[in-house]
Structure 1
Amino acid sequence: MGALEQLVWPLPARLTAVALACTLSAAAVGSVAYGFGFRYAESLGATGMANLKSTHAQQALAVETANRVQLLQQVNRATETEALLYATVDRFTEEKRQLQERIPHVTTQYIAAPGAAAEPIPRCVFTAGWLRDYNTALGVPASGSGTATTTSEKATWPATGTDAELLESGVTPADILAHAQDYGVWARSNIAQLNALLDLQEKD
């Protein structure tokens, strides 16, 4: 009986051993649970980051594709506008060529009355003053000045009735008609370019 009593632990010692075992078990379980929880959270974080990266990549690709489509559309519109502009200028040039062929017919002979025979057109004189005023009205620089003559510069013009004002300029009606053709092509081409630019901006 004495030997058995020696083998049986006292109650406080047994309680301490049980408490220690419970504590160790709880710590082990907590450690294992913490490890599982950490790995699970880490896995969720990695998955979320991968999904976010994938979403960003898809959005970037969609933006890049949209920008590429928009750029191609702009290039196509610009190309179409340029082709239309060149076709318009070519048409103006052809119209000018046809008009140039007519210059001799409308500047060398005339008919004084219906049914009368054609006869040479009387000589038409354009004075130097007339030519100067014509050029000034178009903004063409005065000879040697490099800048267009304005009304404020009238005082520097030759006096009325002087040789410099009334001498023949040498310009003929054919010259004026040819100049009008050149000026017309220039003006119409500028208008066509402006309209093409405005149309392109409206499309964009």
Structure 2
Amino acid sequence: MVVLDRLPSGLAVAALACVLSATAAGSIAYGVGFRYAQALGKSELETLKTNHAEQALAADSANRVQLLQQITRATEAEALLFDAFDRFTEEKRQLQERIPHVTTQYIAAPGAVAKPIPRCVFTAGWLRDYNTALGVPTSGQGTAATSSEKAAWPATGTDTELLESGVTPADILAHAQDYGVWARSNLVQLNALLDLQEKD
């Protein structure tokens, strides 16, 4: 204010008016700039929200398409598996019908008359080794063996391993059918799983 006191009164008023005018203009410019920046920010935020919503919608749509494709593939694989299981069951049924025929008679030469099959003996040791080859645990492994299991699993090199096991050729053929269905079912499931992984 010392500077304004030295100025002539008209000039002081003009200077004061200029200062007030500049302050008012700055305040107005600040307000306009602030509102412009605020409006611009809101506009950019809305644009960003719209872009994010569109991207989320596109990702959701792509995920739905992929999910439907996976469901379709899984359904097709399941249908193929059930068809294979049904086929295996039917083949097993047909084989079971033939077990008595092929395990009770034989022909020694072409054109000869069918005769009863000679008695076939499988020893307890043979049965033990057969089951061991298939991975069936012996009485010494896993849970405690019952008395019948102990009798079926004689120690190697003992005379009891040469006793008759009671297993017949029909039993072995029936077991082979069950084992074949199990192995083929596992193979079909494994191949279906590998096919699904390749498609993904």
Alignment of 1:54-69 (within 5 A): 54-69=50-65
Residue 87 (structure 1) aligned with residue 83 (structure 2): yes
Structure 1 counterpart of 2:155 = 157
Percent of residue pairs identical: 77
Q: How many residues align?
A: 184
Structure 1 residues 23 and 146, CA gap change in structure 2 (3 angstroms): closer
**TM-score scaled to structure 1, two decimals?**
0.80
**How far apart are the structure 2 equivalents of 1:145 and 1:24?**
103
Q: State the Cα deviation string for residues 113-135 of structure 1 (Å, max 9, x = none).
A: 11111111112111222111111
- Which structure: larger Rg? 1
Alignment partner of 1:117 out of 94, 113, 120: 113
Q: By how many angstroms is 1:52 displaced?
A: 1.3
**How far apart are the structure 1 equivalents of 2:102 and 2:74?**
41
**How far apart are the structure 1 equivalents of 2:142 and 2:25?**
99
Aligned-residue Cα RMSD (Å) equals 2.1
DSSP 3-state at the match of 2:8? helix
Residue 29 (structure 1) aligned with residue 25 (structure 2): yes
Q: State the Cα deviation string for residues 100-151 of structure 1 (Å, max 9, x = none).
A: 111112111111111111111112111222111111111122357547xxxx
**How far apart are the structure 2 equivalents of 1:144 and 1:99?**
35
Q: Which runs of 5+ in 1 are unaligned?
A: 1-10, 148-155
Structure 1 residues 175 and 12, CA gap change in structure 2 (3 angstroms): same
Q: By how many angstroms is 1:186 displaced?
A: 0.8
Structure 1 counterpart of 2:170 = 174
Alignment of 1:1-204 (within 5 A): 12-143=8-139, 145-146=141-142, 157-159=155-157, 162=159, 164-204=160-200
